[in-house]
């Protein structure tokens, strides 16, 4: 039986410069994975991060969906995440490590104060690179503004709570599949982003705090193209 696969990304007009660079690369990766590619546009009347709740309807058509943020670059040797992550598990990295550990775990406590204790104490997810299967459809169930987390973290926090509420298992991805600036810190041996499979330019400080995120993405893209480390269509 053929597994129907989809890669989705979220973007808006504020990211026009970024997506001109990154989307051709994301589309190439979708082709490599044998997946369709779609840009999510409907925020369901919620904060724009909640476009990811569109996966609820998309699972009527697809068996597995990989969500990728638009501010990432994927190396040409990156394996298909549809092969890496078991289909019965949700694949994501955990972000409550290094300099973010205390803050992220405080958010985990706060969301349960608001929406109920689900036994979540650690393992803060990041939906910038996250893969789900049809059996996980319930975590994307429609919500009103009062039923979602509207503080820092938005969908990361909301979906993390939903995952624990419904008892889904998580497959922890190695950081190389979602290398944010966090993973270049001392606790992780100051690892270079250029050794990762997927580089994620999330956050305000970023890899080079004195530089604008767009400039870092553009410069990295040119370096990776020069050395034939990424592909695009």
Q: pLDDT at position 205, please?
A: 61
| CATH topology assigned to domain 5-226 | Spore Coat Polysaccharide Biosynthesis Protein SpsA; Chain A (3.90.550)
Q: pLDDT at position 153, please?
A: 97
Which residue ranges in the chain fall short of pLDDT 70?
204-205
Contacts of 72 by beta carbon, 8 Å cutoff, 6+ apart:
22, 26, 128, 129, 198, 199, 200, 201
Q: pLDDT at position 41, please?
A: 92
**Adjacent-strand bridge partners of 7:** 37, 66
Q: pLDDT at position 204, please?
A: 66
DSSP 78: P
pTM of the model: 0.97
Q: pLDDT at position 15, please?
A: 86
Q: pLDDT at position 206, please?
A: 80
């Amino acid at each position: 039986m053929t597994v129907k696969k989809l890669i989705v990304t979220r973007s808006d007009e504020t990211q026009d410069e970024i997506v001109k660079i990154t989307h051709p690369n994301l589309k190439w990766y979708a082709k490599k994975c044998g997946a369709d590619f779609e840009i999510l546009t409907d925020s369901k009347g919620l904060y724009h991060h909640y476009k990811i709740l569109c996966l609820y309807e998309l699972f009527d058509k697809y068996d597995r969906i990989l969500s990728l943020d638009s501010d990432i670059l994927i190396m040409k040797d990156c394996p298909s995440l549809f092969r890496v992550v078991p289909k019965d598990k949700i694949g994501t990295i955990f972000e409550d490590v290094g300099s973010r550990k205390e803050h992220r775990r405080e958010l985990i406590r706060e969301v349960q104060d608001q929406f109920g204790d689900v036994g979540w104490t650690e393992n803060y997810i990041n939906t910038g690179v996250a893969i789900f299967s049809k059996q996980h459809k319930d975590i994307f169930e429609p919500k009103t503004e009062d039923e979602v987390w509207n503080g820092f973290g938005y969908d990361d926090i909301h979906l993390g709570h939903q995952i624990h509420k419904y008892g889904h298992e998580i497959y922890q991805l190695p950081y190389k599949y979602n290398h944010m600036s966090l993973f270049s810190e001392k606790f992780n041996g100051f690892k270079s982003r250029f050794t990762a499979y997927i580089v994620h330019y999330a956050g305000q400080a970023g890899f080079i705090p004195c530089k604008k995120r767009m400039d870092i993405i553009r410069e990295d893209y040119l370096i990776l193209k020069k050395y034939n480390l990424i592909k695009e269509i």
